[in-house]
Amino acid sequence: MDIAKIDGANMTLGAPPNWDEERDGTCFALPIRAEVINNSMPSLTSAWKPTAEELARLNAGAPVHLRVISRTHPPVMLEVGEVPVDEAEAG
């Protein structure tokens, strides 16, 4: 998956503390939208676009995997975003 800029992005996350690029690999900047949902729940939303190969696998029925780099699994949500207006008009 490729990082995409989410509409309404208001923060950019960088590498976590103690990240060692030589040991851990490259940690790319991630544009996010920090917001409160349901009047009380803080959330951070990022956007991702599948590559052509990934899209072909998804269309063939492959599942989406979510990997959390942690010893515990925080609450998460996955959803499909809206089609960008410029792409919708081009089709």
- Check pLDDT > 90 for residue 27: yes
Has residue 79 been placed in a domain? no
Has residue 32 been placed in a domain? yes
Has residue 37 been placed in a domain? yes
| Cα(40)–Cα(32) distance, integer angstroms | 18
Per-residue burial over 63-85, b if 16 or more Cβ lie within 10 Å, else e, is eeeeeeeeeeeeeeeeeeeeeee
Q: How confident is the model at residue 20 (pLDDT cuts 50, 70, 90)?
A: very high
For the chain, the domain total comes to 1
Tokens of 83: 């089609």
pTM, two decimal places = 0.80
What is the chain's mean pLDDT, rounded? 92
Domain encompassing residue 49: 2-74
Interval 48-74 mean pLDDT: 94
Alpha helices in the chain (DSSP H): 21-24, 52-59, 85-90
